[in-house]
Amino acid sequence: MTEENLTDCNIIFYCKDCEEIVETNRVGKKYVYTCKKCGTKNVAFGTQKSISSFFRLDEPKPGEKKTIAK
Ligand SMILES: [Zn+2]
Protein backbone atom coordinates (compact mmCIF):
# COMPACT_ATOMS: atom_id res chain seq x y z
CA MET A 1 0.00 0.00 0.00
CA THR A 2 1.34 3.41 -0.83
CA GLU A 3 0.75 6.61 1.01
CA GLU A 4 -1.16 8.13 -1.89
CA ASN A 5 -3.74 5.40 -1.68
CA LEU A 6 -4.63 6.14 1.91
CA THR A 7 -7.13 8.84 1.14
CA ASP A 8 -8.45 7.27 -2.02
CA CYS A 9 -9.33 3.90 -0.63
CA ASN A 10 -11.72 3.10 2.12
CA ILE A 11 -9.02 3.01 4.74
CA ILE A 12 -9.85 2.57 8.36
CA PHE A 13 -7.71 2.58 11.46
CA TYR A 14 -7.90 -0.01 14.16
CA CYS A 15 -6.41 0.55 17.60
CA LYS A 16 -5.16 -2.69 19.11
CA ASP A 17 -5.28 -1.16 22.57
CA CYS A 18 -8.83 0.17 22.34
CA GLU A 19 -9.76 -2.90 20.31
CA GLU A 20 -11.94 -0.88 18.01
CA ILE A 21 -11.98 1.31 14.95
CA VAL A 22 -10.64 4.73 15.88
CA GLU A 23 -9.68 8.05 14.41
CA THR A 24 -5.99 8.81 14.32
CA ASN A 25 -3.47 11.57 14.27
CA ARG A 26 -0.57 11.30 11.88
CA VAL A 27 2.85 11.64 13.43
CA GLY A 28 5.13 14.00 11.54
CA LYS A 29 6.12 12.90 8.08
CA LYS A 30 6.36 9.26 8.98
CA TYR A 31 3.80 6.61 8.23
CA VAL A 32 2.95 6.49 11.87
CA TYR A 33 -0.45 7.11 13.32
CA THR A 34 -1.56 7.51 16.88
CA CYS A 35 -4.94 6.69 18.27
CA LYS A 36 -6.97 9.81 19.05
CA LYS A 37 -8.61 7.98 21.87
CA CYS A 38 -5.72 6.53 23.86
CA GLY A 39 -2.73 8.10 22.14
CA THR A 40 -0.73 4.96 21.46
CA LYS A 41 0.90 4.07 18.18
CA ASN A 42 -0.52 0.61 18.39
CA VAL A 43 -2.67 1.29 15.37
CA ALA A 44 -3.16 -0.88 12.35
CA PHE A 45 -4.62 0.46 9.15
CA GLY A 46 -6.00 -1.01 6.01
CA THR A 47 -9.14 -1.32 4.01
CA GLN A 48 -12.40 -1.90 5.76
CA LYS A 49 -12.41 -5.39 4.36
CA SER A 50 -8.88 -6.35 5.35
CA ILE A 51 -9.13 -4.90 8.84
CA SER A 52 -12.47 -6.51 9.48
CA SER A 53 -11.16 -9.81 8.25
CA PHE A 54 -7.86 -9.68 10.09
CA PHE A 55 -9.36 -8.66 13.41
CA ARG A 56 -12.54 -10.63 12.86
CA LEU A 57 -14.66 -7.55 13.41
CA ASP A 58 -17.42 -8.85 11.24
CA GLU A 59 -17.66 -12.23 12.86
CA PRO A 60 -19.27 -11.65 16.23
CA LYS A 61 -20.88 -14.79 17.46
CA PRO A 62 -24.02 -14.59 19.56
CA GLY A 63 -23.28 -15.04 23.23
CA GLU A 64 -19.57 -15.17 22.63
CA LYS A 65 -17.14 -12.44 23.54
CA LYS A 66 -15.27 -10.96 20.64
CA THR A 67 -11.62 -11.95 20.69
CA ILE A 68 -8.75 -10.17 19.07
CA ALA A 69 -6.07 -12.08 17.23
CA LYS A 70 -2.61 -11.09 18.36
ZN1 LIG B 1 -6.57 3.51 21.20
Query: So what's the pLDDT on residue 32?
Result: 87
* pLDDT tens-digit series, residues 5-59: 555 568 899 999 999 999 999 988 888 899 999 999 999 999 998 999 998 887 6
Q: Calculate how far, in angstroms, residue 21's C-alpha sits from the geometric centre of ligand 1.
A: 9
Q: Calculate how far, in angstroms, residue 66's C-alpha sits from the geometric centre of ligand 1.
A: 17
Query: So what's the pLDDT on residue 64?
Result: 63
Give the alpha-carbon dihedral of 42, 6, 25, 60, to 10 degrees: -50
Q: Calculate how far, in angstroms, residue 62's C-alpha sits from the geometric centre of ligand 1.
A: 25
Q: Which residues keep their CB under 5 angstroms from ion ligand 1?
A: 15, 17-18, 35, 37-38
Predicted TM-score of the model (pTM)? 0.66
Query: So what's the pLDDT on residue 57?
Result: 82
Domain boundaries, the chain: 5-54
* pLDDT tens-digit series, residues 48-69: 989 999 988 876 667 766 666 5
